[in-house]
Amino acid sequence: MKGILVTGTDTDVGKTWFMLKFGSLLKEKNRNFHFLKPVESGCIEPDGRVVPKDATQFSRLEDKPLSTICEFMFKAYVSPPKAAKMENKTISLNQIIKFLNENKNDNDDCINIVEGCGGFYSPIANNKLTADLATELKIPIVLVVKNALGCINHTLLTIQSIKKLKLDLKLIILNNINKDTPLDNFEELSQFTNIPIIKLGYNEGLNPKVLEYLD
């Protein structure tokens, strides 16, 4: 599969936000892409229907059926295996891999943008972590980091974990998820890693330079 796996240093760091901005940039540049968010928990329930909020945004931006983007949808806002258990269901890594293989875009000019769950070591399936998904896919990784106090520690630990598995970390996205970011960690974080870092400002577009690292 040609593409990237988007993971984070934690949950709620802005992975989906980055993916939407990246998709918008690719669309602007007339580049082919396909979103894949195989698992989503915390799904909203209008009229009794389970609707994956993030995957629905991907579907609208890409103009592709939701069924080609997300398959496993759970109500509770907890880890997918825990959410599945609460609904008397199970979810395995093999099921996730099967969905990805069946729905990926194999065209040479298309980049598949895959989103993991939570942080790199967050559970994604029964007894499996997003790290296990990354090991199976063996595609380049983009690490999304919330630009806040403590992020340097979280980022360096995650980098170390990715390198230990001999995976290819292409880029770090330092994400301002709030309008006011009192502490900017860009310069200090840059002192501790040679992985390229791109800042994503609050409600701003993504720097086109990101394409240099992900082509």
For residue 31, give Cα distances in angstroms to 27, 151, 153: 6, 32, 35
| Distance of alpha carbon 195 from alpha carbon 1, whole angstroms | 23
163 an active-site residue?
Answer: no
The answer to whether 39 touches 116, Cβ cutoff 8 Å, is no
| Distance of alpha carbon 130 from alpha carbon 15, whole angstroms | 13
| Distance of alpha carbon 82 from alpha carbon 74, whole angstroms | 10
The answer to whether 175 touches 146, Cβ cutoff 8 Å, is yes
For residue 174, give Cα distances in angstroms to 27, 33, 115: 22, 22, 17
E-only strand ranges, 72-140: 72-73, 110-119, 123-125, 128-129
Catalytic, out of 21, 37, 128, 146? 37
- Catalytic positions, written as ranges: 37
